[in-house]
Amino acid sequence: MISPLIFEPERPGSKDIAWCPGCGNFGIRNILRSAFAELNLRPQDVVIISGIGQAAKMPHYINVNGYHTLHGRSIPIATAVKAANPSLTVIAEGGDGDMYAEGGNHLLHAIRRNPDITVLVHDNQIYGLTKGQASPTTMLGMKTPTQPWGVFEEPFNPIALAIALDASFVARTFMGYFKESVEIIKKAIQHKGLAIVDIFHPCVSFNKVNTYEWYREHTYWMKDHNPYDREEAFKRAIESDPLPLGVFYIHEKPTFEEQVPAYKRDKTPLWRRKSKLEEIGKILEAKRTF
Amino acid sequence: MVEFKEDVSIVLGGAAGQGIQTVEEILTRVLKLSGYNVYANKEYMSRVRGGINTTEIRVSSKKVRAFVRRIDILIPFKRGVLPWVEKRLTENTVVLGEKENVEEEYLSRVNFVEVPLNEMAKEVGSPLYLNTIAAGVVVGLFHGDFEALEEYLRKRFGSKGEEVVLKNIEAARKGYELGVKLCEEGTIGIEVKRDENVKKEILLSGTEAVALGAVAGGMNFLSFYPMSPSTGVAVFSAQHAEDFEIIVEQVEDEIAAINMALGAWFAGARGMVTTSGGGFALMSEALSLAGMAENPVVIHLAQRPGPATGLPTRTMQGDLNLVLYSGHGEFPRIVLAPGSIEEAFYLTAEAFNLADKYQVPVIILTDQYFVDTYYNLPELDLSKIKVEKYIVESDEDYKRYKLTEDGISPRSIPGYGKGVVVANGNEHDEWGDITEDEELSRLMQEKRAIKKLETIRKNAMMPELVGREDAKYVIVAWGSTYHVIREALEVLNREDVAFLHFKWVYPLPEKVEGLLEGKVIIDIEQNVTAQFAELLKKEFGLEIHHKILKYDGRPFSVEEILDALKGVLE
Ligand SMILES: Cc1ncc(C[n+]2csc(CCOP(=O)(O)OP(=O)(O)O)c2C)c(N)n1
Ligand code: SF4
């Protein structure tokens, strides 16, 4: 195994970390570094495409390729990066607002499209960067500056949704459980097809309900669960308290990149290819007659 | 007897779903194979059945590439066509067809030649043969190559079995013989020269030119969400995706489309989106990301009239301001607008080199008129296509946003070299990490919005000058109006009028000012507010003396430009 230290960036800008002291994002960063190291990945071969939010700052604090993009847009960008160069390990990363609110539509369609990427959702059940508004996963009744009457919209259940749409890999973890989380992220990265991991992590600044203790008390690890059984997975997904952790569902199926005509005969990444002038010539020749 | 010399404009009109498109296809291909120059363009309603759609086909001794208002021969497939094209009828117009398709009041205004198409179709065996008979009649009028017609029908209907092929050939023959007879008995006279060379030429549409140009320029990733009139480029690309070994993906919305194209470029591929104004509006967020992250991208925008859903199937040049100014914050972009089909091919290919070189969005502006136009052209020279790639290998301390004199930082991609690439839509330092440093923020803004823009401007393409440099009057126009203006100028035949056509619309090279100073400038555009004139004024402080504008969703015709120019010049 290589050392997780090679994922420690040496750039001047990566020293000043913008996360609040005590935030769960630090734990996720350590989990990621260990997972990459245990998978023997090289920094050059990993790409993190992130959206916007505190969670989405990850590319600056870890030594791999990164693209810090727009709120909610990491999935389409990550999809195309993988399609353009399938030899890369591609991760789309963002918060629950990023992935489930602004980027909700892209998530739905990524499940249908099934690119071989890993979607990591830092689910702190609140908007961090914009200072504590409710997110799609904020619990009923929670009061925030913008929901002073308490949230009355039904929280979004990403796990149930993903299973309902027959996603390829669906898991949930809590970053407070380091080793288990590393294992789940490794499985997600190794899984061929779209892997979604909802990662609970406390926001110490704005979410006073879902704390480290809260997640410990209100979650449990699924034992003897068969992730290949969709109905069983769905039953687990709609349990609400305690919330199950682990791999809910796996459905192996062809990926986006496997099905596009670009790679049927030729596996060369798109950027190394030449334009097909001879094919154009043939089409133009045909246009001389009919 | 009505006679047409040198150049005949044939218009077919009918309901959507009535098969006019088939007739158009047969005629353009077979007449070209018979040695005639052809040009075709259509106008259609935003509906799948019914309404009235028309197609204009020009058949000519010389190369023709422009829309004319006048109709020489009209074939109506239903009632309502004549009132629809009322303004385009002349005293010479010959209406060929069934009496039931011609309203009473027109019988005295046009030369009506009754042709019992329906009855003939029934004789062959089914009303379905009507289209083939009509096509046969027109080919017959031109004494076209019947063998070519036969071969075309074989190709087209071959999959439906020998019986259908033979019936169609029989229908075509009946039509053809009737067409020949109409000439021989002196009802219609047609004199258009044939040219052996034309037979071998290529028949290509604006849509196909953009799609093929893109592939020639190295496009290997096309993401799109369907929207008229831009969808054709996606259809063509998808149908050839296996031959070209490219990715063509219909995505959930335009937001995903452009973000995917950005991702493709980030990983070193050459991505494009094809869209229209409404779709582009949704892309403006990601356009800013392209600007900030210096992510190359190519966007084909086929304009149609807006605002909002506007006139979905019609034409306008109303989105220039949209592409010039959309996106938040300040960043450069390149706007191109081909004037001819050949130009669309070469320019679209070049767009990919430009995007790669300058790391900016490159927008190709066409419009419904342009993408739906086609004509014969001798050839496209593939040896002129140069695919220039600017991707560099990264070293360990690679800086994606290195500050340089010309504002261009060498671009590497993930997985190529020893370093990692960090791109960022937040303000960043040279490595790509977030910064809020005063000095760096200023330097990065200047790098993008001033230095890079100036580098692009220095290398911008000059407009094409048609006519004399010392002409007193200069017409300025951009994009699809090119050939209509050229043809009008040929008819006008005045040495004191020149024409500057801008296929490179933004940023404008400084030397343009010299070409326009002291001239009487006539701006011709298909929009309400003369957006390009505004741009000239903004960039060079130039006063535009006359504006010829059209914004009813229909293309300019040669006659219209001519009339308008006469009004301005006299
Ligand atoms: C288009 C757009 N809308 C809104 C914002 C403001 N914004 C930034 S981060 C954010 C929400 C962040 O919440 P989440 O995704 O849960 O991430 P966290 O900060 O909690 O990690 C919002 C609304 C933005 N940057 N862009
Ligand atoms: S705002 Fe919350 S989630 Fe964001 S860094 Fe601070 S503690 Fe962490």
CATH number for B512: 3.40.50.920
Q: Check A13 against B429: CB less than 8 A apart.
A: yes
**Contact between residue B321 and residue B489 where contact means Cβ atoms under 8 Å apart:** no
Domain boundary among B173, B200, B227: B200
Q: Take atom 3 of ligand 2 and give the residue whose Cα is closest.
A: A203
Asked whether residue B305 falls in the same domain as residue B270, the answer is: yes
Distance CA(B219)–CA(B209), nearest Å, equals: 13
| Contact residues on chain A for B256, CB-CB shorter than 8 A | 76, 105-106, 109
- Tell me how crowded residue A33 is: count the other CB atoms within 10 A of its CB: 21
B38: domain CATH number is 3.40.920.10
Q: Check B293 against A277: CB less than 8 A apart.
A: no
- Tell me how crowded residue B126 is: count the other CB atoms within 10 A of its CB: 12
Chains A & B: contacts with CB separation below 8 Å: 232
| Contact residues on chain A for B294, CB-CB shorter than 8 A | none
Tens-binned pLDDT, residue by residue, of chain B (570 aa): 899 999 999 999 999 988 899 999 999 999 999 999 999 999 999 999 889 999 999 999 999 999 999 999 999 999 999 999 999 999 999 999 999 999 999 998 899 999 999 999 999 999 899 999 999 999 999 999 999 999 999 999 999 999 999 999 999 999 999 999 999 999 999 999 999 999 999 999 999 999 999 999 999 999 999 999 999 999 999 999 999 999 999 999 999 999 999 999 999 999 999 999 999 999 999 999 999 999 999 999 999 999 999 999 999 999 999 999 999 999 999 999 999 999 999 999 999 999 999 999 999 999 999 999 999 999 999 999 999 999 999 999 999 999 999 999 999 999 999 999 999 999 999 999 999 999 999 999 999 999 999 999 999 999 999 999 999 999 999 999 999 999 999 999 999 999 999 999 999 999 999 999 999 999 999 999 999 999 999 999 999 999 999 999 999 999 999 999 999 997
B268 closest CB neighbour out of A60, A85, A281: A85
Select from A109, A274, A287 the residue whose CB has the most chain B CBs within 10 Å, as the one to mutate to test that interface: A287
Q: Is the CB of A96 under 6 A from ligand 1?
A: yes
**ipTM at complex level:** 0.98
Q: Check A105 against B253: CB less than 8 A apart.
A: yes
Asked whether residue B322 falls in the same domain as residue B407, the answer is: no
Minimum Cα–Cα distance from A270: chain B residue? B269
| Contact residues on chain A for B221, CB-CB shorter than 8 A | 80, 83-84, 270
Domain boundary among B384, B400, B421: B384
| Contact residues on chain A for B380, CB-CB shorter than 8 A | 284
B267 closest CB neighbour out of A63, A271, A288: A271
| Alpha helix (H) residue ranges in A155-261 | 158-164, 178-190, 212-217, 230-237, 256-259
Distance CA(A48)–CA(A64), nearest Å, equals: 7
pLDDT at A195: 99
Q: How far is the CA of A129 from the centre of ligand 1 (A)?
A: 6
Which residues have a Cβ under 8 Å from the Cβ of A136 and sit 6 or more positions away? A96, A97, A100, A101, A104, A155, A156
Which pLDDT band holds residue A2 (cuts at 50, 70, 90)?
confident
Q: b or e along B32-66 (b: 16 or more beta carbons within 10 Å of the residue's beta carbon)? A: bbbbbbbbbbbbbeeeeeebbbbbbbbbbbebbbb
Asked whether residue B208 falls in the same domain as residue B250, the answer is: yes
Pocket of ligand 2 (CB under 6 A): A 19-20, 23, 25, 54, 124, 128, 203-206
Asked whether residue B326 falls in the same domain as residue B229, the answer is: yes
Q: b or e along B312-321 (b: 16 or more beta carbons within 10 Å of the residue's beta carbon)? A: bbbbbbbbbe
Look up residue B564 and give its two tokens: 């308008």
Distance CA(B235)–CA(B90), nearest Å, equals: 38
Distance CA(A199)–CA(B269), nearest Å, equals: 32
Distance CA(B97)–CA(B154), nearest Å, equals: 25
Asked whether residue B369 falls in the same domain as residue B250, the answer is: yes
Any idea which residue has 């008129």 for tokens? B369
Task: Give the distance from residue B455's alpha carbon to the nearest chain A alpha carbon, in angstroms.
Answer: 26
Q: What are the strands of the beta sheet with A243-250, ordered from one edge?
A: A219-221, A243-250, A169-174, A195-200, A118-123, A89-95, A46-50, A65-68, B422-424
Distance CA(B427)–CA(B218), nearest Å, equals: 30
Distance CA(B122)–CA(B103), nearest Å, equals: 23
B217 closest CB neighbour out of A64, A275, A287: A275
> What is the C-alpha end-to-end distance of chain B, expressed in Å?
36
Mean pLDDT of the A199-213 span: 97
**Contact between residue A123 and residue A201 where contact means Cβ atoms under 8 Å apart:** yes
Task: Give the distance from residue A243's alpha carbon to the nearest chain B alpha carbon, in angstroms.
Answer: 32
**Nearest ligand atom owner, CA of A18:** 2
pLDDT at B123: 94
Asked whether residue B473 falls in the same domain as residue B438, the answer is: no
The answer, yes or no, to whether residue A119 has pLDDT greater than 90, is yes
Domains and CATH numbers, chain A: 4-288 (3.40.50.970)
Question: Which of B322, B314, B343 lies closest to B555, judged by CA?
Answer: B314
Asked whether residue B131 falls in the same domain as residue B39, the answer is: yes
**Contact between residue B426 and residue A69 where contact means Cβ atoms under 8 Å apart:** no
How does strand B7-16 pair with strand B50-60? antiparallel
Task: Give the distance from residue B260's alpha carbon to the nearest chain A alpha carbon, in angstroms.
Answer: 5
Distance CA(B174)–CA(A49), nearest Å, equals: 65
Asked whether residue B221 falls in the same domain as residue B337, the answer is: yes
Asked whether residue B174 falls in the same domain as residue B223, the answer is: no
Mutation test residue for ligand 1: of A68, A129, A137, A203, the one with most atoms within 8 Å of CB: A129
B243 closest CB neighbour out of A47, A279, A284: A279
**Nearest ligand atom owner, CA of A203:** 2
Q: Is the CB of A124 under 6 A from ligand 1?
A: yes
Q: Which residue(s) pair with B457 in the sheet?
A: none
The answer, yes or no, to whether residue A1 has pLDDT greater than 80, is no
**Domain boundaries, position B98:** 2-200
Asked whether residue B434 falls in the same domain as residue B448, the answer is: yes
What is the greatest pairwise CA distance in chain A? 75
* pTM confidence score: 0.97
Which residues have a Cβ under 8 Å from the Cβ of B200 and sit 6 or more positions away? A288
Q: Is the CB of A58 under 6 A from ligand 1?
A: no
The answer, yes or no, to whether residue A162 has pLDDT greater than 90, is yes
Asked whether residue B422 falls in the same domain as residue B371, the answer is: no
pLDDT at A70: 98
Domain boundary among B334, B351, B384: B384
**Contact between residue A280 and residue B216 where contact means Cβ atoms under 8 Å apart:** yes
Consecutive H or E run containing B59: strand B50-60
> In chain B, how many domains are there?
4
- Tell me how crowded residue B399 is: count the other CB atoms within 10 A of its CB: 19
Which pLDDT band holds residue A261 (cuts at 50, 70, 90)?
very high
Any idea which residue has 């290997």 for tokens? B220
Asked whether residue B364 falls in the same domain as residue B250, the answer is: yes
Q: Check B382 against A59: CB less than 8 A apart.
A: no
B379: domain CATH number is 3.40.50.970
Cis status, amide bond into A136, omega within 30 of 0: no
- How far, in Å, are A24, B121, B125, B132, B160 from residue B167 at the CA level? 76, 10, 8, 10, 11
Q: Check B212 against A49: CB less than 8 A apart.
A: no
